[in-house]
Amino acid sequence: MHTQLKTKIGVLLVNLGTPDSCNVADVSSFLKEFLLDGRVIDAPYLLRQLLVRLFIVPKRKKRIAETYKSIWSDKGSPLAHYSSALKEKLQSALGDDYYVSLGMRYQSPTLRSALLELEKVGAKSMIIIPLFPQHASATSGSIIEQVMRFIMRWNVFPHMHILSDFYNHPQFILSHVALAQKQILSEYDHILFSFHGLPERHVEKARLFNANFCYKKSCYETAALIAEKLSLASSEYTVAFQSRLGKEIWCQPYMSDVIESLAKKGAKKVLVFSPSFVADCLETLYEIKVELQEEFKQHGGEKIDLVEGLNANDVWVDALKKIIQEIRK
């Protein structure tokens, strides 16, 4: 008697990616793949190739490799470690009806290998989750485009649901609130919500395409929803943007300007949320905990603390489980 295999529901988690090691060669490989993406640097193809291969990567690879070394652990890259742990814990929480795979937009585990896993288990429906709460063309948009590029070659297309953003989902907000409540908020002079920056030109392009879409607006809404749950007055927190590249105008206010202003006004202790990253990475563990801390001290401040990232915390695993179950209803 033929026994039919039980059909699995596929869940594809996708994060940005990370170098395979903190060696200069691996960092260089990662930077090239990342920056040559036309959604990241949207210059014409040949100009982008010249900029990235001849100027940006050769100039930055050694310095960036050093910053990766400062956050690397015996478990490797924090982003890779936390993403893998999230996958395993989410698989356990969802049970045998689901198959959870993990891919990175750049480097390994590759997005192609993650999709092949789902194809091999015969997933006839898939929930695709780019792990970026606030949708942007350079992050979630690039992931979705790449997923479609691979799937279009399949003989049979699965039923797909793409979670293109979740910046205001109650479960996402409550996860941040739960982790923030481990801190004594009254000990801080000010609260900062730091979001990854984008060139203003990218934000405006998206807004012109769809007037209802605005990356900056979704960032501000995320901050406001977390602040409301924590009973923070509007004067007690500020939204800012980090990770500028080049001379182009990026989302403002810039984190460096805000932290300088706070220090000069007498703030000594500041707590920082980073709700555009679901896993701690270079932007949180180095840009905020090291670079921003140094800047704050230079201007008269004393201490910057970072709210723990969602990572593979149980509250975040439970939140993702509930979000997925809502999609399946």
Q: How far apart are CA 136 and CA 72, in angstroms?
A: 27
Per-residue model confidence as pLDDT tens digits over 154-210: 888 889 999 999 999 999 999 999 999 999 999 999 999 999 999 999 888 887 777
Q: DSSP string of 125-140?
A: EEEEEES-SS--IIII
Half-sphere exposure of 91 (CA within 13 A, CB side): 14
**Mean pLDDT lowest among 2-11, 171-180, 216-225, 240-249:** 2-11
Contact 192, 238 (CB under 8 A): yes
Q: Please enumerate, as own/partner, the contacts of 51-58 that have beta carbons within 8 Å and a separation of 24 or more.
A: 56/31, 57/28, 57/31, 57/32
Record the tokens describing residue 70, joined without a space: 């400062």
Q: What is the CA radius of gyration of the chain?
A: 20
Taking every pair of Cα atoms in the chain, the longest distance, rounded to a whole number of angstroms, is 78
- 212 has a pLDDT exceeding 90: no
Residue in this structure with the two tokens 């190739």, named with its chain if needed:
49
For the record, the structure tokens of 118 come out as 């789902």
Q: For residue 211, name the pLDDT band (cuts at 50, 70, 90).
A: low
192 and 270 Cβ atoms separated by less than 8 Å: yes
What pLDDT was estimated at residue 282?
96
Q: What are phi and psi of 238, to 5 degrees?
A: -140, 145
The pLDDT-based confidence of 4 (bands split at 50, 70, 90) is very low
Using an 8 Å Cβ cutoff, are 158 and 240 in contact? no
- d(Cα 9, Cα 84) in Å, to the nearest integer? 19
Is pLDDT larger for residue 54 or for residue 212? 54
Task: Quote the percentage of the chain above a pLDDT of 70.
Answer: 98
Report the SS3 class of residue 272: strand
Segment 322-328 shows an average pLDDT of 96
* Euclidean distance between CA atoms 97 and 102, whole angstroms: 17
Render pLDDT for 246-300 as a digit per residue (tens, 0 to 9): 788 999 999 999 999 999 999 999 999 999 999 999 999 999 999 999 999 999 9
Kind and range of the H or E element at 104? Answer: strand 98-106
Question: Mean pLDDT, to the nearest integer, of 144-161?
Answer: 92
Over residues 131-143, the mean pLDDT reads 96
Query: Is the pLDDT confidence value at 1 over 70?
Result: no
Sign of the Cα torsion 57, 32, 74, 243 reads: positive
Residue 148 has a pLDDT of 95
Residue 268's pLDDT is what? Answer: 98
Q: What average pLDDT does this structure show over 49-62?
A: 97
Query: Binning pLDDT at 50, 70 and 90, where does residue 129 land?
Result: very high
184, 191 in Cβ contact below 8 A?
Answer: no
Check whether 136 has a pLDDT greater than 50.
Answer: yes
Instruction: Write the CA distances from 17 to 84, 105, 110, 111, 282, integer angstroms.
Output: 12, 6, 9, 10, 11
Q: How far apart are the C-alpha atoms of 86 and 82, rounded to whole Å?
A: 6
**Mean pLDDT on 2-7:** 53
pLDDT at position 7 is 79
pLDDT of residue 293: 96
pLDDT at res. 244: 82
Say how far residue 64 (Cα) sits from the centre of its chain: 18
